[in-house]
Amino acid sequence: MASGDKCPVDHASPPPADKCPVDHGSMHSGAAEQCPVDHTARSSWTSLFSSKNDKAAPPHPQPAASSSALPRLPVDREVSSIPRTDGENWVYPSQAQFFAAMERKNHNPHAPDMKVIVPIHNAVNERAWAEVMRWEAGQGGDACGGVKLVSFKGKSKELTPRARWKTMLGYTPPFDRHDWVVDRCGTRVRYVIDFYTGRSAANNNPSFYLDVRPALDSWEGVRLRAEKFVSNWVGDLWSSSSPSPSSKPAS
C-alpha cells in the first residue's frame, strides 16, 4: 500500500486528510480505514450490539474473507468535527471499511451490526472531543485558529491508574482507552480517555461514560488538572458557604 495511506503517528510526513485519528500501532498501521477504536476494541463494540442469538454462541475465529466475498455495505464516510493540523478534519470509516478491518483480524463481525455500531462509534468519539474542548476552553487556542488533534493511540489493554483504582473498588473496567495528543498554538498536551459502557434502564441499549483528563506527564497537564481541582473545590466551598438567594437574615 502507498505510503500516503499510513497511520498518522510516528511518520516523517503528515498523514492524508481522509484518515481517522488513531494510531493502531503494529496491528495494521497501513490501513486506510483506521479509526478511533483499535481492532481489539472493535471486537468489544460488536459484542455490545450483536443480536441475542449471536451472543448465545461463543465466537469462533473465521478465516479472513476475500474482498469479493464481503457483504455489500455502505461506503460513505462521515467527516468528523475534529480538526487536523493541516487544516482538514478527520474522517470516520464507512460501514464497509469497519467490517473489513474486523474481518481481516478474525473478530467475527456481523454485517447487520455495522449500521448501528458505526454511527454510535462516531458519536462517542465526537463526545470525547467535546470533553477535550471543555478542558481547553479559555487556554488560548483561539489565538491560532483553535486546538488541533495531532494523533491518537489506542491502548485498550493498558489500564490507567485511575481505571485500575476504580476496578479495585468494584467498578467494571473500561472497554477501551485512548491517548489523544492535541496542539494548542505550539503547545502539545496528551489527554487520556477511558471509555466505559453500561446499559440504560429504559431500553437496555448500551450507554457510555467517558473519563477524559490531561495526562500528568507534562507541566501543562499538571497545571490543567491542578486548576480544575482548585476550581471545583473553591466553587463547592463558595456555594456551600454563600446564603441562599431566598434566605433572609435573622432580625
Residue 8: is its pLDDT beyond 90?
no
- Residue 105 is predicted with a pLDDT of 76
**What value does the mean pLDDT take over residues 24-37?**
39
61/251 Cα distance (integer angstroms): 78
Pairing of strands 148-154, 89-91: unpaired
Q: What angle do CA 151, 162, 131 make, to 5 degrees?
A: 45
User: Does the pLDDT of residue 52 top 60, yes or no?
Assistant: no
Distance CA 213, CA 188 (A): 14
Mean pLDDT of the chain: 75
* Span 134-173, pLDDT tens digits: 999 999 999 999 999 999 888 888 999 999 999 999 888 9
The tens digit of pLDDT for each residue in 230-246 reads 888 776 555 555 555 55
Residue type, 92: Y
Q: How many residues does the chain have?
A: 251
pLDDT tier at 205, thresholds 50, 70, 90 = low
Question: Hunting for cell 491508574 — which residue is that?
Answer: 161
Percent of the chain with pLDDT over 90: 42
Round to whole Å and give the CA distance between 139 and 143.
Answer: 10
- CA 28 – CA 135 distance, rounded (Å): 31
In the structure grid, which three cell numbers stand for residue 127, read together?
Answer: 463526545
User: Grid coordinates standing for 242?
Assistant: 454563600
Question: Is residue 196 predicted with pLDDT exceeding 60?
Answer: yes
